[in-house]
Structure 1
């Protein structure tokens, strides 16, 4: 598929696994220069090596470690992208974490702050750092990752629910503010995708139930996500395909939208 973005430079955060890595691979196949970022140097280097065979036309993959909770490291990431590639054309912000979960009345301010700092403020910092680079080019694509939780919250994940709802709102806000500069800004909301984050959740559930992980997955689908009509976990590549489309010139009339990639998990037609 020709997404008409050959030669562009894409920055993907949260790229050492899951949706971020899958997105990087698809964009690499489309002739895009890739900058992957995450917090673990060793894992990030492995990811870069995994992406390298997919590069075409002599394009590059660069790995840059950055802790998105620290504004100084986000700014350094942006500076390195500017120095090495002349700035970002595309940013797919895939970094995030489930954060603290449990009874709302038992969650502390520190629990909330940790989740807000990673899931919401990480998106804010990355957007603030890279929007000027895209403005200077008069063309840009920014994709923020939300979740089904934004539209269909689960009672034991109140901090995550709130942050992901805020990201949908943030993407709409930014799309209105910067479309005049040639930027298209959209949001993607996955549900129950097979990633390290949900793998950890399923391992914990299996331990609690005294079952295998596969049995835990099936129990979770039946009891906690009964509206995933395809009756399975999603694949990172299935989310990455939607992200890649939104990064492309084929999506030139898509702005301020939230694309659900949830297998039907969100019950309402209008969420």
Structure 2
């Protein structure tokens, strides 16, 4: 399928691994010029090397999206190299503070909201002017099944992702008439470094290995996932690729679940 996005300019955050990296790979294969950002230099360099695209196609930029000056600098670098981004895929995020609600302090809540919500706000605000001026744009914000189906041991993350869903819907209404289409994608239990860390911690607690931790987690915590396995980043990237393409020209304000049926409601 021709996605109609050859020579478009995309900004992909959280791009050093997982869904962000898989999305960058798909976009490069479609002829898109990609600005790839994350905050750990060595990991971003490794991702850039893995993607194997030339400087005329791929620009890695180290940035901490919780720092406003870093976001400004990121957009300055993107514009100088390629021009204003026409596509934004915001994949950066953290699991954040976990545990019983009564044990999570303000600092834990603030850090989680800062990374998982306010970083999205900053990056969207930074790219929006160029999209509005051009009269077109595609924005995909990564949310989570947790945004509509909260889990009691990670409420800061759940609340942040619910806010991301509301943000995406509100932005779609505010700017859709100007040609800027905004959607969310909500994965569940994808094979990424984030869930690897979660499963390694579970394995350590239970005195087992990662494979057994994954199997028990699926059985006990995610029984609605009818696939019986973790998803792959490429399976999420495929949906993102559709949403940023010309094939999705009548899609905005939507939340696409890539969750193997995990969310119980319709």
What is the TM-score of this pair, normalised by structure 1? 0.96
Is residue 185–residue 258 contact of structure 2 (8 Å, CA) maintained in 1?
yes
Which of 168, 171, 181 is the equivalent residue of 2:165? 168
Give unpaired runs (5+ residues) of structure 1. Answer: none
* Greater Cα shift, 176-185 or 229-238: 176-185
Long gaps (5+) in structure 2: none
Counterpart pick for 1:95 among 89, 92, 96: 92
Is the aligned partner of 1:81 residue 2:78?
Answer: yes
1:132-182 deviation line (CA, Å, top 9, x unaligned):
111121111000000000010000111000000000000000011111221
RMSD over aligned CA atoms reads 1.1
Aligned to 2:208, which of 202, 206, 211? 211
From 80, 101, 106, the equivalent of 1:104 is: 101
2:49 alignment counterpart: 49
1:193 aligns with 2:190: yes
Aligned counterparts of 2:45 and 2:177: Cα–Cα separation in 1: 37
Q: Deviations over 1:16-36 (max 9, x none)?
A: 000000000000000000110
Contact 1:82 / 1:133 at 8 angstroms: preserved in 2? no
The aligned counterpart of 1:122 is: 119
Which residue is equivalent to 2:10?
Answer: 10
Give, in whole Å, the separation in 2 of the partners of 1:140 and 1:226.
37
Contact 1:31/1:59 (<8 A) preserved: no
Alpha carbons 2:59, 2:78 under 8 Å: kept: no
Q: How many residues align?
A: 266
TM-score by length of 2: 0.98
1:19 aligns to what SS in structure 2? helix
Give the Å deviation of 1:52: 2.3
What is the alpha-carbon distance in structure 1 between the residues aligned to residue 93 and residue 76 of structure 2? 22
Q: Distance in 2 between matches of 1:110 and 1:40?
A: 22
Q: How many Å separate the matches in 2 of 1:7 and 1:93?
A: 20
- How far apart are the structure 1 equivalents of 2:50 and 2:32? 15
Q: Which runs of 4+ in 1 moved over 2 A?
A: none
Partner of 1:238: 235
**More displaced stretch, 173-182 vs 108-117:** 173-182
